[in-house]
Structure 1
C-alpha cells in the first residue's frame, strides 16, 4: 500500500483529504505544521507528500527546500490558495514535483497523485550503468550524482531529471512540451522562465564557456538540444 503524508493545518481539509485518500487505497499520515511535517519527511518513508504552502512554524516552501537539501527525493505536490504565477515558479524551483491551486476537485488531485507517483517510480530505476560525460561533468544517473574531476557538483533532483531526459535524446531537439511532460507532467503550462532557469543552472555546470554554449543549446521557438560527440 502506498503511503502519503498530508501536511496541512486546516482541520476540515485534513479530514476530507484523509477520507478520500484512504478510500482510494492509500495509507495516510498527517502533520499539522511545517516543523512536524519536515521531521516526518526526514525520518519516515513516504511515496508522496501533499504539502500546504501556508503553514504554522515553517512554510511549505521552506519544508520542501530543506527536504531536498537533505537529499530526500520523495515526490512533493504543493497545495495552495496562492495561485499567482510567481508562487508556482517559487514552488517548482524549491524542488516540488507539482503545484495544485485551491480549490481543486478530488478527481484532479487523484489524477495528479497517480501521475507523479508513476513518473517518479520510473525515475527511481533509470537502468544499470547509466553514466555519461557531459561537458565538464561526469554524471551518474543511477545515483543522482555528478562530478567535475574528483569534486562532486551539487545538482537538484529536477536538474538531474532534465539532464537525464535530454541525454536520452542527445543530438535531437526536445520540445518544451516534451520536457515539461517528462519531468513535471503538469496539466497547466509553467512559464518559459521556469525551464530557462533550470537550463541556465545546468549550463553553468556542464559548459566550458556558459556564455557561449556549445553543449546545451536553445532551439529558439522549439526547445533544447544536448549536443554530444
Structure 2
C-alpha cells in the first residue's frame, strides 16, 4: 500500500518535496492558496488543490486527518504557517513536519505541537560553508545544536590503516558508522576493516570533534 502525504505550500521547498515523494512512489495531496502554483503541480501530484489552510472549515473538508504525514512548507507567512500547524494538531493529524523561517518561529511551532521542524535554508548554508572550508568534508548534516553527521573523504594519510590502528573514537571522540566504497556501503564496519584511498567515511559526533578529526587526522 502506498504511503500518503500532504504538502501544504508549493514554493521551492514544498514543490521539491512533492516531486521527490512522487518519485519514491508515494501518494501526495499538494495544496497551495495560489491557483497558479497548484496548476504547476496538477500533473505531478496525486491531487493538487487550491485552498486556504488557515480556514478551519476548508482544512477539515479536505479529509487531511486521514493522511499519515503532513508537511507545512508555507514560506511567505509565519502566521499562516502557525495557524495551519495549530489546526492540523486540533483535527488529529498524526505527524506534522513544518518549515521554520527563524528560531522564534521554531519555538512557537514546537510549543503548539509540531513533530519535526526544519530550517532548509539555514541547514543548506551550514552544509555549503563546511564544504567550502574543507576539501575533505563532502556533506554535513546537523543532528542537534552541537552534534552532526558528516561525509569525509579518506586521503593518503588514512589509506592502508585499519580502524583499530587509527583508534579514531579514543583519539577524536567521533564514530565511523559506515564507509561508502564506490557503490557499496559498509554499515558498522569491523575494527579490522582497512580504509582505502577515497573511501567516504560516515562520521558522527560533536561538531568540535568532527572538525578536530578532519584537521588532525587528514592533514
Taking structure 1 as the reference length, what is the TM-score of the superposition? 0.39
**Structure number with bigger Rg:** 2
Taking structure 2 as the reference length, what is the TM-score of the superposition? 0.41
